[in-house]
Amino acid sequence: MKLYEYLGKELFYRYDIPVPHRKLIESAEEATEAAAELGNVVIKSQVLTGKRGKAGGIAFAADPGEARKEAERIFKMELNGLKVEKVLVEEKLQIDQELYLALTVDGAARCPVVLVSLDGGMDVEDVAEERMVRWPVNITLGLQDYMVREICRLLGVTGDLKKEFIEFLPKLYRLFRELDAELAEINPLALTPAGLVAADAKVTIDDDALYRHPQLPRIKEKTALELKAEELDLAYVELDGNIAVMANGAGITMATLDMVQHYGGAPANFLDFGGGADVERTSKAIELLLGTSPKVLLINIFGGITRCDVVAEAFVRVRESKGIDLPVSFRLVGTNEAEGRALLGKVGIKAVTSMDDAVRHAVELSVVSK
């Protein structure tokens, strides 16, 4: 779960990490008062997308009038398809240097990793590898002072800035660990005359650990369908094509999409309904796909824990209760295959046994039905 910048900064504040003085506003009118209080300000759209600056979603204002004007403009914007509903008005920092700091998970090392660079404020992808210090943290030790000293040495940082780092980094690490973060990124980390200040905040919380953090807000950046899929515990991603795809297992679902593309078709979605779903959940998954009005429905079942008869029964049930008025390409093999085929046979559906055949057939159907 990605957090808006203003929420990330609230968490920073709670962890004693310096952040600029700021006000969250929900209408342009509020910008006047905020700017009157804060002086020179930065006006920042609160949307969950990168590159807000380049897209015009961040503006500076020297007085309340200008602040209001810019806020008005920003509230009317859409960034990467996302509406601006909240805006952060912040004191403009006096920045001597822009740095980069993040904590994230190193999958290969299987542990947290600190990323620090003296080149901040730019896209992190643009930071030269050799200008980025990566320090994997032994999770049983946590981030100890000596590690920060070593990071400083590798960066060539000494004196006051080193002291700042020794104070700053462990706080971010604590937040990262205690809140089950996947990412806690500060870019830029501003070096000001008063010390280090988090000029931005990008915090992502592990969805699988959200249950441990009832105090955190729940951010919904998903579409209505994705939310519905989430409720059903389905792995679902909306795509641009017209062939609705469902399969059991993440890898095989990806492979099915790849194969659709390989044969010239366009998948409408990714839907992995997992292993061991019952008739009820499987029916719901099929209904969800039908709701997206695709041209063709492609079901690819390689039954292991998933039972073919359960999938067939769910299909028949939806067909009878809601109707399925679009062409279907069905592949069905594995556990209880015969029972499944028998059920489908009764409603005139003949499932194939090869994934390749099923996908090619679905692509053909999608071309025909155009």
Kindly list the catalytic residues: 100, 185
**Based on CB atoms, which residue is closest to another protein, 33 or 136?**
136
Interaction mask 156-185, another protein, x per CB under 8 A: --x---x--------------x--x-x---
Q: Is 107 in the site for another protein (CB under 8 A)?
A: yes
Q: Which of residues 288-307 bind another protein (CB under 8 A)?
A: 302-306
**Based on CB atoms, which residue is closest to another protein, 17 or 234?**
234
What is the smallest separation between the CB atom of 212 and another protein, expressed in angstroms?
7
Q: Is 92 in the site for another protein (CB under 8 A)?
A: no
Q: Which stretch binds another protein (CB under 8 A): 21-29, 59-67, 90-98, 142-150?
A: 142-150
Interaction mask 221-250, another protein, x per CB under 8 A: --------------x-x-x-------xxxx
Among 81, 193, 214, 251, binds another protein (CB under 8 A): 251
Q: Is 140 in the site for another protein (CB under 8 A)?
A: yes
What is the smallest separation between the CB atom of 281 and another protein, expressed in angstroms?
15
What are the residues whose beta carbons fall under 8 Å from the beta carbon of 231, sequence distance 6 or more?
Answer: none
**Based on CB atoms, which residue is closest to another protein, 208 or 325?**
208
What is the smallest separation between the CB atom of 245 and another protein, expressed in angstroms?
10
Token pair listed for 297: 């429905």
Q: Which stretch binds another protein (CB under 8 A): 28-36, 141-149, 286-294, 312-320?
A: 141-149
Among 81, 129, 130, 141, binds another protein (CB under 8 A): 141
Task: Describe the strand order of the beta sheet including 243-247 as a list of residue ranges.
Answer: 235-238, 269-272, 243-247, 296-303, 328-334
**Based on CB atoms, which residue is closest to another protein, 27 or 138?**
138
Chain contacts with another protein (rule: CB under 8 A): 105, 107-108, 110-112, 124-125, 138-141, 144-147, 149-150, 153, 158, 162, 177, 180, 182, 206, 208-209, 211-212, 235, 237, 239, 247-255, 257-262, 267, 270, 272, 275-276, 302-306, 333-335, 354-356
